[in-house]
């Protein structure tokens, strides 16, 4: 080094500070590896099937360990938090009920169960070493073993998240969103149900059993069955009943196939047509504002339709059946010996019973109200016509029919007879009506027509597959609940009780169980300012064995009714049996 040069001499053989630190890290890692349990680096079995089988066997052996692992306190808060997020998200996104919402809910729940199982067997499929196999079987053991605790923790979180989100969505600010969501799911449910019903129809036609499931009119199928069985020696009556059966099938399919479309606002203008004994829509006999014709059925149908229109407007502020002012069309004198009355999605039609028929007439205010209420339900809620939702659909129509009749007569709840179709039977038949809402099962009992099969309590619920899952039979249960509630409230049943039921129907979705609908009636009472009536509502539901619940009890006959055609009893069995 030259004189005066003061630069230090660097010895390149000495390690730098960074190099020392790296060496220490490598040494620490080596020590840790030496202390850790040795990894099993043996090759996994060559066969993918063998790997999956071995992982399954080992995974089940580790279920006990999985349960112990799930008790780790450090996992409680994360699981509760995840459950809360799922509960809040489901409440925000999914509807309360309806087939689309039910399918989405099942898919959401299935995802969290299926995801670790898929990861387990994917891990087994791609495993290269026994260490990979061990990791996959441990995941399976933790998944199955930890499921009870994890589900409990997540369930608690989901309840918390759902409750908090429910309170947020109940605010006035959230109502536009809730209305938009309900409209979207209603449209999706309607499209799905029409598609499913179409597919069912094709399948049932191919199997030759379609008539077992798809019949509808005011006179239910079990009544036809009993009349036919008890009058086997009366060919004229049997012929008219079979013709009504055939027409019932077409009526039902037409009604379910209709999609709500645009209608002009006619303010519910009435048009009454006379079929003159033919099975056609008929010729116009009397239009809105025209004078009486002198034909009894035409003029009665005109007056009854006016009562219905006035009820919808005065009580519910509703402009006609669809709420948009659609014309109110009716046809009288339909067919020759046609044993029924029906709403086909567009018009009300009254059959013309023959001389051999046990029925006196179908042109009655309560029948008109009942059938047109099917239209209101169609547009307002789209309630599925099967099992408990279907029984509620029939129940809504019975409630609407008697309330319209009651208001027109000016009778209070405690004065009214609460019979649906009072006077429908001819004088030689021992019967008061087709149904009795306060006394289900007591409307008629005669050797020529059989006995009223309606149950009055859930203990007697009939799980028949006939009558679309007992829609005309099991409706006796909610019928009794409403009539008892209205009588206990007293006064005009078309006021507070009617408004509570109307609001609850719109909010219950398309597939409510009895329990779900009961819950909605309680919520509607509170929302409409009738908190004082809640105890009477609770008693009415308790008296028929229905426990209000926001979520339907998990039962095949309640759960996703679109699949329930193939559950329950054999076709046509147990229809008249109360259990």
* pLDDT in 10s for each residue of the chain, 579 residues: 445 455 555 555 555 555 555 555 555 555 554 454 567 888 989 999 999 999 999 999 999 998 998 888 888 888 889 888 888 888 888 877 667 777 777 777 777 778 888 988 998 899 999 999 999 999 999 889 888 888 888 889 888 988 899 889 888 888 888 888 877 876 676 666 656 655 654 564 455 443 333 335 788 888 888 888 888 888 777 777 776 666 655 555 454 444 445 568 999 999 999 999 998 999 999 999 999 999 999 999 999 999 999 999 999 999 999 999 999 999 999 988 888 998 887 889 999 888 888 999 999 999 999 999 998 998 888 888 889 999 999 999 999 999 999 999 999 999 999 999 999 999 999 999 999 999 999 999 999 999 999 999 999 999 998 888 899 999 999 999 999 999 999 999 999 999 999 999 998 888 899 999 999 999 999 999 999 999 999 999 999 999 999 865 544 344 444 444 333 333 333 333 333
CA distance 87 to 70: 21
Catalytic residue at 266? no
CA 106 to chain centre: 15
Nearest partner of 224 among 379, 95, 83, 358, judged by Cα: 358
- Burial of 236-265, coded b for 16+ CB within 10 Å and e otherwise, reads ebeebbebbbebbbebbbebbeeeeeeeee
Please give the radius of gyration of the chain, using alpha carbons only, rounded to the nearest integer: 33
Is the distance from CB of 218 to CB of 362 less than 8 angstroms? yes
Beta strand 341-343 with 435-436 is unpaired
Query: What pLDDT is stored for residue 579 in this prediction?
Result: 30
- Is residue 371 part of the annotated active site? The answer reads yes
CATH code assigned to 381-579:
1.10.390.10
Which residues touch 124 (CB under 8 Å, ≥6 apart)? 48, 51, 52, 54, 55, 133, 136
What pLDDT is attached to residue 287?
97
Q: Is 493 exposed, middle or buried (0-12, 13-18, 19+ CB in 10 A)?
A: buried
Q: Where are the alpha helices (DSSP H) in 231-358?
A: 235-257, 296-316
Q: What is the CATH number of domain 209-364?
A: 3.10.170.10
Catalytic residue among 271, 371, 394, 484: 371
Is the C-alpha dihedral spanning 314, 315, 321, 324 positive or negative? positive
Do residues 154 and 86 touch, judged by C-beta distance below 8 A? yes
User: For the chain, where do the domains classified as CATH 3.10.170.10 start and end?
Assistant: 209-364
Instruction: For tokens 């590896």, name the residue.
Output: 33
Instruction: Give CA–CA dist 373/215, Å, rounded.
Output: 18
Give the SS3 label for residue 557.
coil
Q: What is the pLDDT of residue 343?
A: 86
Closest by CA position to 79, among listed 163, 29, 150? 150
Which is the catalytic residue, given 222, 395, 472, 530? 472
Helices 296-316, 365-380: inter-axial angle, 10-degree rounding: 50
Q: What is the pTM of this model?
A: 0.67
CA atoms within 13 A on the CB side of 521: 30
Task: In whole angstroms, give the CA distance from residue 233 to residue 300.
Answer: 35
Using an 8 Å Cβ cutoff, are 388 and 557 in contact? Answer: yes
What does the alpha-carbon distance between residue 486 and residue 187 come to, in Å, rounded to a whole number?
33
Amino acid 383: pLDDT: 86
């Amino acid at each position: 080094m030259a004189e005066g040069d003061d630069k230090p001499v660097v010895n390149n053989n000495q390690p730098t500070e960074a190099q020392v630190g790296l060496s220490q890290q490598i040494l620490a890692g080596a020590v840790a590896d030496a202390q850790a349990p040795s990894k099993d680096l043996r090759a996994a079995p060559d066969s993918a099937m063998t790997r999956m089988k071995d992982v399954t066997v080992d995974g089940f052996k580790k279920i006990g360990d999985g349960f112990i692992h799930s008790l780790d306190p450090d996992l409680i808060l994360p699981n509760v938090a995840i459950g809360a997020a799922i509960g809040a998200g489901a409440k925000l996104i999914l509807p309360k009920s309806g087939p689309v919402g039910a399918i989405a809910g099942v898919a959401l729940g299935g995802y969290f169960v299926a995801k670790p199982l898929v990861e387990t067997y994917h891990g087994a499929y791609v495993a290269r070493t026994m260490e990979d196999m061990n990791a996959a079987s441990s995941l399976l053991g933790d998944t199955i073993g930890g499921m009870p605790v994890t589900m409990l923790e997540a369930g608690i979180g989901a309840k918390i998240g759902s409750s908090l989100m429910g309170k947020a969505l109940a605010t006035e600010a959230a109502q536009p969103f809730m209305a938009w969501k309900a409209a979207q799911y209603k449209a999706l449910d309607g499209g799905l149900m029409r598609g499913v019903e179409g597919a069912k129809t094709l399948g049932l036609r191919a199997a030759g059993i379609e008539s077992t499931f798809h019949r509808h009119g005011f006179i239910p199928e079990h009544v036809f069955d009993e009349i036919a069985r008890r009058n086997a020696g009366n060919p004229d009556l049997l012929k008219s009943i079979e013709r009504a059966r055939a027409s019932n099938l077409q009526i039902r399919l037409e009604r379910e196939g209709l999609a709500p479309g645009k209608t002009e606002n006619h303010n519910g203008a009435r048009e009454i047509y006379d079929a003159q004994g033919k099975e056609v829509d008929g010729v116009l006999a009397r239009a809105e504002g025209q004078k009486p014709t002198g034909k009894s059925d035409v003029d009665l149908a005109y007056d009854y339709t006016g009562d219905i229109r006035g009820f919808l407007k005065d009580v519910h502020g509703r402009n006609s059946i669809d709420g948009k002012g659609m014309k109110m069309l009716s046809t009288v004198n339909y067919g020759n010996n046609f044993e029924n009355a029906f709403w086909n999605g567009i018009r009300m039609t009254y059959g013309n019973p023959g001389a051999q028929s046990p029925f006196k007439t179908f042109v009655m205010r309560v029948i008109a109200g009942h059938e047109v209420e099917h239209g209101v339900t169609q547009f307002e809620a789209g309630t599925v016509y099967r099992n408990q939702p279907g029984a509620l659909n029939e129940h809504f129509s019975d409630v609407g029919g008697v309330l319209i009749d009651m208001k027109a007569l000016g009778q209070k709840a405690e004065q009214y007879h609460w019979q649906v179709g009072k006077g429908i039977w001819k004088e030689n038949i021992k019967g008061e009506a087709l149904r009795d809402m306060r006394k289900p099962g007591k409307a008629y009992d005669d050797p020529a027509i059989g006995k009223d099969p309606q149950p009055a309590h859930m203990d007697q619920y009939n799980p028949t597959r006939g009558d679309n899952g007992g829609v005309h039979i099991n409706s006796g249960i909610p019928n009794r609940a409403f009539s008892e509630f209205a009588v206990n409230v007293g006064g005009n049943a078309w006021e507070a009780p009617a408004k509570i039921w109307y609001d609850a129907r719109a909010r219950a979705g398309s597939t409510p169980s009895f329990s779900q609908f009961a819950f909605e009636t309680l919520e509607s009472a509170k929302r409409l300012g009738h908190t004082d009536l809640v105890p009477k509502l609770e008693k009415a539901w308790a008296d028929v064995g229905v426990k209000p619940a926001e979520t339907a009890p998990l039962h095949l006959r309640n759960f996703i009714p679109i699949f329930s055609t193939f559950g329950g009893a054999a076709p046509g069995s147990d229809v008249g049996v109360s259990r």
